C-alpha cells in the first residue's frame, strides 16, 4: 500500500475516525487533528514500526487574523524509512492559546516551539524551557501576529542603559 | 558560583542551572563559574552567544542565545511580493547566497505551478553546487583557523575568491547575487563565465588536495578535533540535524538523492557518509562533498542544454527590460507583476533543497494574493545550533571553539 494511504488508514484505526481531516495539495499530504491529541498522534507516528517519522523538520504557526480559530500550528515531520514528509496541523484559538509540547517526542522540537511562542504567543504546555527565542525577554508583543505593525512599535524595546 | 552576572538575564541563568548536567568530574573543584562567550567573539562565526557554566575548565552546561541578528525576514516576506523577496534571501546564509536564491524560486515556482526551462534548471544546479563549494571552503578554512591552523584559511579563501570573480562576471555582484528569477535566471551565462568555471573546476581538485595536506597531516589539528563533540546517529536525528552534520553521524540523508529537485536525478554523484560523528568526521564530509560538487559541476557543463533561460509566461514571469520599453503588452504585464505580484493560487507548499549547511526549506501559504500570507524559513543552522549544549557538555573550554567551527553555523539564517 502506498504510504499516502497507509498513514491516514493507520491513524484512523488507532484513533477516533472523525478526528482527522485529510487533504492533499500538490502531492503533499496534510492531516488536521484536534490539538488535544497532538502528543499521542506524534508518539504513534514516531513509534509505529511501519511509519517511523523520526525527524521533526519544522514547527511553525499561521495567524489567520479574522478566523474563529485564529492560529494553526503546523508540523512537518519526515520518515527516513518511507522517504515521506507529512504535514500535521492543529487549530488553536486565541482565547485558549495553548497546545501540548511535542518536545518529549522529538528533542529538536524544543527550539522550534520556542520560536513559535516568541513569534505568535502560543504557549506550549509542559515545555522544558519556554523562553523567547529571538526577541528580548521583556518584550511584550509577538511580532509575527498580523496585528503587529511592520514598522514595529516605538519604544517597545528599551535602549540599553548607560 | 561567581563571575560577572549583571548582564545575563535571570531566565538565562535559570535555564543554565536547570540544564541536564549529569557529568562526573573527578575531584570536583567546587568553583563553578559562569562564562559569557559572545556575541562578539572571533570564533563564534557571527553573533552567536553562548553562556557556559564551568567547573574548572570542564563545561557543565551551556545555553545558546540567539536573536542578535534577527531582522524579521518572515514578517518582511508577508509584506512584499514574491519577486521583491529574492534579494532578501541573499542575506540569510550570506556565505552561499546563490543556493538561497535557488531555494526561494523553486518554492515559489512550486506554489505558482510553473517550471523553468531546462537550461535555467541546469544553470541553477551549477550555481547551487558552486555555492556549496564556496560555503564549505569557508567552513573548512575557518574551522582550521579556530583551532590554530592559520594558513589553510588563506588558501581556501583564495579558492573562494575565484568563484567570487565568476559570480561577478555572471551577474555583476560578488556577494549578494540575486541571480535567479521566478521562472528562470536573470541572464544567460556569458561565455567568459563558462570559461572561468571550467578553469576553476579543472584546477580545483589539485588545489583542494594542497589545502588538505596542510591539515590532514597536522598533528595539532587532528588531535584537537578527533573524538571531540561526538553525537550519535539517533541523537543527531532526534535533534533535527541535516546536511553535512547528519552525514558525519552515519545517516545517509541527502535531499538531492531522497527527493530530487532540479535535475539531480540526471547526474551521478556520491554521498559521503562518516560514522564517527565527531568534529573530524564533519570536516572530512565537507572536503569530500566539495569534490563531489566539483564533479557535478563538470557533468552539468557537459550536459548543459541550449535554449531559453527564462519561461515565457507573461502573467507569472517578469518580461525583459528591453521588451518593457518597446512593447505595450509587456509594459502592462511588468506593471501588474511589480505592483500586484504574481498571485499564486490558494494553497500551501513546503519545498526544501539541500543547502550547503543542510536542509533549507520554505513553507509558503498563499491566499491568492501577491504577497505570501505566511512564509516560514526552515534554516539548517538554527537546528544545528540547537545541538550545541549536547555537544559541548563534558568538554574543555577550548573545545567549544572547535565544536562551533565544525557545526558551521551562519547566524544570518539562524536568526532570520
Q: Do B70 and A135 touch (CB under 8 A)?
A: yes
User: Considering chain B, what percentage of its residues have pLDDT values greater than 70?
Assistant: 95
User: Considering chain A, what percentage of its residues have pLDDT values greater than 70?
Assistant: 100
Is residue B206 in some structural domain?
A: yes
Calculate mean pLDDT across residues B229-256: 89
- The region, left, alpha or beta by phi > 0 then psi within -120 to 50, assigned to residue B412 is alpha
Q: What is the pLDDT of residues B349-382, one digit of tens each?
A: 999 999 888 899 999 999 988 899 999 999 999 9
- B146 and B261, same structural domain? yes
* Structural domain boundaries in chain A: 3-125
The DSSP string of A9-32 is HHHHHHS-GGG-EEEEETTEEEEE
Strand, helix or coil for residue A75:
strand
Q: Name the least confident of A53-62, B145-154, B285-294.
A: B145-154
- Provide, as residue numbers in chain A, all residues whose Cβ is less than 8 Å from the Cβ of B363: 58, 60, 74, 76
Q: Do B383 and A62 touch (CB under 8 A)?
A: no
- B297 and B274, same structural domain? yes
Which of B289, B311, B333 is where one domain is finished?
A: B311
Does residue B30 surpass a pLDDT of 70? no
Q: What is the pLDDT of residues B89-111, one digit of tens each?
A: 998 888 889 999 999 999 999 99
Q: Mean pLDDT in chain A?
A: 87
pLDDT classification of B1: cutoffs 50, 70, 90: very low
What pLDDT is stored for residue A50 in this prediction? 84
B143 or B29, higher pLDDT: B143
Interface probe for A, chosen from B374, B385, B415 (most Cβ of A below 10 Å), is B374
Q: pTM value?
A: 0.90
- Provide, as residue numbers in chain B, all residues whose Cβ is less than 8 Å from the Cβ of A148: 75
Look up the CATH number of the domain holding residue B31: 3.30.390
pLDDT classification of B2: cutoffs 50, 70, 90: very low
pLDDT classification of B20: cutoffs 50, 70, 90: low
What pLDDT is stored for residue A26 in this prediction? 84
Q: Do B238 and A62 touch (CB under 8 A)?
A: no
Q: Is A3 in CB contact (< 8 Å) with chain B?
A: no
Q: How far is CA B331 from CA B209, B314, B324, B344, in A?
A: 52, 10, 5, 21
B345 contacts B113 by C-beta, under 8 angstroms: yes
- B139 and B60, same structural domain? no
Q: How many domains does chain B have?
A: 2
- B63 and B111, same structural domain? no
CA distance B177 to chain A (A): 26
Does residue B134 surpass a pLDDT of 90? yes
- B187 and B100, same structural domain? yes
- Provide, as residue numbers in chain B, all residues whose Cβ is less than 8 Å from the Cβ of A63: 374
- B249 and B204, same structural domain? yes
Look up the CATH number of the domain holding residue B236: 1.10.645.10
Give the structural domain span for B58. Answer: 1-68+380-416
Calculate mean pLDDT across residues B127-149: 90
What pLDDT is stored for residue B363 in this prediction? 93
Minimal Cα distance from B385: which residue of A? A111
Is residue B368 in some structural domain?
A: no
- B242 and B160, same structural domain? yes
- Provide, as residue numbers in chain A, all residues whose Cβ is less than 8 Å from the Cβ of B67: 132-136
Instruction: Give the nearest partner residue to A108 out of B66, B238, B349, using CB atoms.
Output: B238
**A3-125: in CATH 3.40.140.10:** no
- B171 and B46, same structural domain? no
Q: Is B232 in CB contact (< 8 Å) with chain A?
A: no
Which of B287, B311, B335 is where one domain is finished?
A: B311
B316 contacts B182 by C-beta, under 8 angstroms: yes
What pLDDT is stored for residue B242 in this prediction? 87
Calculate mean pLDDT across residues A8-22: 82
Calculate mean pLDDT across residues B339-351: 89
- B124 and B50, same structural domain? no
Instruction: Give the nearest partner residue to A107 out of B15, B74, B238, using CB atoms.
Output: B238
The Cα B323–Cα B334 span in angstroms is 10
Does residue B4 surpass a pLDDT of 60? no
Is residue B335 in some structural domain?
A: no
Minimal Cα distance from B383: which residue of A? A108
Q: What is the pLDDT of residues A88-108, one digit of tens each?
A: 999 999 888 889 999 889 988
A14 or B198, higher pLDDT: B198
- Provide, as residue numbers in chain B, all residues whose Cβ is less than 8 Å from the Cβ of A135: 67, 70
Q: Mean pLDDT in chain B?
A: 87
- B61 and B120, same structural domain? no
pLDDT classification of A116: cutoffs 50, 70, 90: very high
Which of B258, B292, B311 is where one domain is finished?
A: B311
CA distance A16 to chain B (A): 26
What pLDDT is stored for residue B6 in this prediction? 64
Is residue B38 in some structural domain?
A: yes
- B161 and B261, same structural domain? yes
Q: Do B75 and A150 touch (CB under 8 A)?
A: yes
Is residue B179 in some structural domain?
A: yes
Predicted ipTM of the assembly? 0.92
Q: Do B365 and A25 touch (CB under 8 A)?
A: no
- B125 and B49, same structural domain? no
CA distance A46 to chain B (A): 11
DSSP A98: E
Q: What is the pLDDT of residues B298-316, one digit of tens each?
A: 999 998 898 888 888 888 8
What pLDDT is stored for residue B398 in this prediction? 87
Q: Do B15 and A58 touch (CB under 8 A)?
A: no
B5 or B161, higher pLDDT: B161
What pLDDT is stored for residue B273 in this prediction? 92
Is residue B57 in some structural domain?
A: yes
Q: Do A129 and B15 touch (CB under 8 A)?
A: yes
CA distance A95 to chain B (A): 22
Q: Is B9 in CB contact (< 8 Å) with chain A?
A: yes
Is residue B357 in some structural domain?
A: no
User: Considering chain A, what percentage of its residues have pLDDT values greater than 90?
Assistant: 23
Is residue B4 in some structural domain?
A: yes
- Provide, as residue numbers in chain B, all residues whose Cβ is less than 8 Å from the Cβ of A55: 237, 240
Amino acid at each position: 500500500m502506498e504510504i499516502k494511504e497507509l498513514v491516514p488508514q493507520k491513524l484512523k484505526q488507532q484513533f477516533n475516525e472523525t478526528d482527522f481531516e485529510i487533504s492533499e495539495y500538490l502531492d503533499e499530504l496534510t492531516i488536521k487533528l484536534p490539538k488535544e491529541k497532538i502528543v499521542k498522534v506524534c508518539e504513534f507516528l514516531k513509534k509505529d514500526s511501519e511509519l517511523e517519522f523520526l525527524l521533526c523538520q519544522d514547527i511553525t504557526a499561521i495567524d489567520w487574523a479574522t478566523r474563529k480559530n485564529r492560529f494553526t500550528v503546523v508540523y512537518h515531520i519526515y520518515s527516513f524509512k518511507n522517504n515521506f514528509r507529512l504535514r500535521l496541523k492543529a487549530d488553536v484559538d486565541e482565547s485558549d492559546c495553548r497546545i501540548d509540547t511535542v518536545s518529549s517526542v522529538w528533542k529538536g522540537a524544543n527550539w522550534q516551539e520556542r520560536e513559535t511562542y516568541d513569534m505568535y504567543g502560543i504557549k506550549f504546555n509542559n515545555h522544558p524551557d519556554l523562553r523567547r527565542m529571538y526577541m528580548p525577554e521583556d518584550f511584550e508583543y509577538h511580532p509575527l501576529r498580523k496585528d503587529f505593525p511592520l514598522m514595529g512599535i516605538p519604544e517597545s524595546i528599551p535602549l540599553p542603559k548607560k | 558560583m561567581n563571575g560577572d552576572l549583571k548582564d545575563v538575564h535571570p531566565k538565562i541563568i535559570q535555564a543554565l542551572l536547570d540544564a541536564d548536567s549529569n557529568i562526573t568530574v573527578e575531584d570536583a573543584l567546587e568553583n563553578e563559574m559562569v562564562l559569557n562567550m559572545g556575541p562578539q567573539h572571533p570564533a563564534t562565526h557571527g553573533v552567536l552567544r553562548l553562556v557556559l557554566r564551568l567547573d574548572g575548565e570542564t563545561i557543565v552546561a551551556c545555553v545558546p542565545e540567539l536573536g542578535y541578528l534577527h531582522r524579521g525576514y518572515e514578517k518582511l516576506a508577508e509584506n512584499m511580493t514574491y519577486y521583491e523577496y529574492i534579494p532578501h534571501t541573499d542575506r540569510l546564509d550570506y556565505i552561499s547566497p546563490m543556493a538561497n536564491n535557488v531555494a526561494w524560486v523553486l518554492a515559489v515556482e512550486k506554489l505558482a505551478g510553473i517550471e523553468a526551462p531546462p537550461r535555467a534548471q541546469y544553470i541553477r544546479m551549477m550555481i547551487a553546487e558552486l555555492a556549496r563549494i564556496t560555503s564549505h571552503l569557508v567552513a573548512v578554512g575557518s574551522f582550521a583557523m579556530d583551532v590554530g591552523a592559520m594558513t589553510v584559511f588563506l588558501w581556501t579563501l583564495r579558492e573562494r575568491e575565484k568563484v567570487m570573480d565568476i559570480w561577478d562576471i555572471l551577474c555583476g555582484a560578488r556577494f549578494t547575487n540575486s541571480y535567479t528569477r521566478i521562472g528562470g535566471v536573470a541572464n544567460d551565462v556569458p561565455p567568459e563565465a563558462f570559461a572561468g568555471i571550467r578553469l576553476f573546476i579543472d584546477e580545483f581538485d589539485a588545489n583542494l588536495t594542497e589545502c588538505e595536506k596542510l591539515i590532514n597531516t597536522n598533528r595539532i589539528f587532528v588531535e584537537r578535533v578527533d573524538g571531540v563533540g561526538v553525537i550519535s546517529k539517533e541523537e543527531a536525528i532526534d535533534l533535527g540535524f541535516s546536511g553535512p552534520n547528519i552525514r558525519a553521524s552515519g545517516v545517509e540523508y541527502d535531499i538531492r538523492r531522497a527527493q530530487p529537485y532540479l535535475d539531480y536525478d540526471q547526474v551521478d554523484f556520491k554521498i559521503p557518509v562518516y560514522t564517527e560523528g565527531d568534529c573530524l568526521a564533519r570536516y572530512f564530509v565537507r572536503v569530500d562533498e566539495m569534490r563531489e560538487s566539483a564533479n557535478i559541476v563538470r557533468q552539468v557543463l557537459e550536459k548543459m542544454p541550449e535554449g531559453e533561460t527564462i519561461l515565457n509566461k507573461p502573467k507569472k514571469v517578469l518580461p525583459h527590460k528591453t521588451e518593457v520599453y518597446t512593447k505595450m503588452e509587456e509594459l502592462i504585464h511588468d506593471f501588474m507583476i511589480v505592483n500586484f505580484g504574481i498571485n499564486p493560487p490558494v494553497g500551501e507548499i513546503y519545498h526544501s533543497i539541500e543547502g550547503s549547511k543542510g536542509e533549507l526549506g520554505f513553507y509558503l501559504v498563499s491566499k491568492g494574493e501577491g504577497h505570501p500570507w505566511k512564509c516560514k524559513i526552515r534554516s539548517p543552522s538554527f537546528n544545528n545550533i540547537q545541538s550545541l549544549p549536547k555537544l559541548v557538555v563534558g568538554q574543555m573550554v577550548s573545545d567549544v571553539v572547535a565544536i562551533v567551527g565544525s557545526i558551521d553555523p551562519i547566524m544570518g539564517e539562524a536568526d532570520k
